[in-house]
């Protein structure tokens, strides 16, 4: 997988030694002379508002405090990030939990170190002028979805929980990058997407308000994006994994306290970076997704086995994981944040 390196270091660093990703980290030194582990983190996609805590944590020296020189790379979808992480092509990944579940089921040696977006941003998105207020209003509508992704896999369960059948709605298979254009051109009535991603972008491009039917508010919640690592990393350098988890939790907590500064820290992260207002809207929505009822008041990234089991059950029923396993097969609680 071709990955694009983003976010150049904020402090001059001198490379000392090199090593293969996932099997022992490259060492660098900071301007103050502190030895750091050079760590690659591959995102689920090109940078957008949800990723602000990583850039803010780097800028504020949170990762350096924990001995980490963080290098952030763009991804090409959660599935590819899971594959790259399991193969040791990146030290850590940021990926959607359904992709992790499916990957483990396919034998990819990867585990979650903690899900940070514990409320799914999955939603049906449409222009407010469509006057869609409830799931029943979707009857007869044409919706852009992407075959095989988590949204399309769970959409039937969403409909069922709201008294509808799959046949009540038509889903048009659409490339992920083309869904917004399909709605804006009027080819479809709505799209399946993340409230923390496509919606703010579509609203900005069209100059008119977007509304949502959010799965989590209508009977269906499951874990979304989180930090992942390959089994090789976890076995060869468990201390680095724990430091990465701690630093990431602290970075998210700092960004939660200072959301605008966190968004501002993304400036220059990528040529594909959304406009500042879109980034702000995306991150403000992201902040509503950090905790379930079981983790209220806890640090970002603290998970519970019960929430993991609920997510596993949702995707077992949706057919994403035909042979569901216990949470410990997907989540390394030993390296994860403790409640």
Strand partners, 71: 40
Strand partners, 213: 124
Tell whether pTM > 0.85.
yes
Q: What is the pLDDT of residue 30?
A: 82
Q: Could you tell me the two tokens for 156?
A: 């039937």
Give the span between the Cα atoms of 296 and 220, in whole angstroms.
19
Q: What is the pLDDT of residue 32?
A: 80
* Helix or strand (DSSP H, E) at 195: none
Determine whether 77 is exposed, middle or buried from the number of CB atoms within 10 Å of its CB (0-12, 13-18, 19+): middle
Q: What is the pLDDT of residue 33?
A: 83
Q: Could you list the pLDDT tens digit for every one of the 339 residues in the chain? A: 323 232 333 333 333 333 344 445 689 988 788 899 999 999 999 999 999 999 999 999 999 999 999 999 999 999 999 999 999 999 999 999 999 999 999 999 999 999 999 999 999 999 999 999 999 999 999 999 999 888 999 999 999 999 999 999 999 999 998 999 999 999 999 999 999 999 999 999 999 999 999 999 999 999 999 999 999 999 999 999 999 999 999 999 999 999 999 999 999 999 999 999 999 999 999 999 999 999 999 999 999 999 999 999 999 998 889 999 999 999 999 999 997
122 and 192 in contact (C-beta within 8 Å)? yes
What are the two backbone dihedrals, phi and then psi, of residue 182, each rounded to the nearest 5 degrees?
-65, -40
Collapsing DSSP states into helix, strand and coil, what is residue 303? coil
Give the span between the Cα atoms of 112 and 229, in whole angstroms.
6
- Three-state SS sequence of 15-62: ECCCCCCCCCCEEEECCCCCEEEEEEEECCCCCCHHHHHHHHHHHCCH
């Amino acid at each position: 997988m071709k990955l694009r390196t983003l976010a150049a270091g904020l402090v001059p660093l001198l490379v000392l030694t090199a090593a293969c990703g996932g099997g022992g980290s490259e060492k660098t030194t900071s301007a103050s002379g502190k030895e750091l582990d050079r760590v690659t983190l591959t995102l689920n996609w090109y940078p957008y508002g949800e990723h602000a805590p990583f850039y803010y944590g780097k800028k504020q020296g949170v990762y350096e405090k924990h001995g980490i020189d963080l290098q952030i790379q763009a991804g090409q979808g959660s599935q590819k990030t899971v594959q790259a992480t399991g193969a040791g092509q990146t030290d850590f990944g940021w990926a959607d939990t359904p992709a992790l579940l499916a990957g483990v089921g396919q034998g990819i040696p990867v585990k979650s170190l903690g899900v940070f977006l514990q409320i799914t941003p999955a939603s049906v998105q449409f222009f407010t002028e469509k006057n869609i207020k409830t799931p029943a209003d979707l009857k007869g509508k044409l919706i852009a979805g992407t075959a095989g992704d988590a949204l399309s896999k769970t959409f039937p369960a969403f409909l069922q929980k709201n008294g509808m059948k799959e046949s009540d709605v038509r889903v048009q298979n659409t490339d992920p990058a083309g869904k917004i254009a399909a709605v804006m051109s009027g080819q479809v009535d709505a799209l399946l997407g993340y409230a923390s991603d496509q919606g703010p972008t579509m609203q900005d491009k069209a100059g008119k308000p977007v509304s949502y039917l959010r799965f989590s508010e209508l009977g269906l919640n499951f874990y979304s994006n989180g930090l992942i690592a390959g089994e090789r990393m976890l076995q060869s350098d468990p201390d680095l994994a724990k430091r990465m988890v701690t630093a990431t939790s602290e970075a998210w907590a700092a960004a939660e306290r200072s959301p605008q500064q966190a968004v501002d820290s993304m400036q220059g992260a990528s040529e594909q970076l959304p406009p500042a207002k879109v980034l702000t809207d995306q991150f403000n929505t992201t902040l509503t997704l950090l905790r379930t009822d079981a983790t209220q008041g806890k640090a970002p990234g603290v998970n519970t086995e019960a929430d993991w089991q609920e997510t596993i059950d949702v995707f077992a029923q949706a057919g994403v994981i035909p042979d569901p396993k216990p949470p410990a097969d997907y989540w390394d609680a030993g390296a994860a944040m403790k409640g």
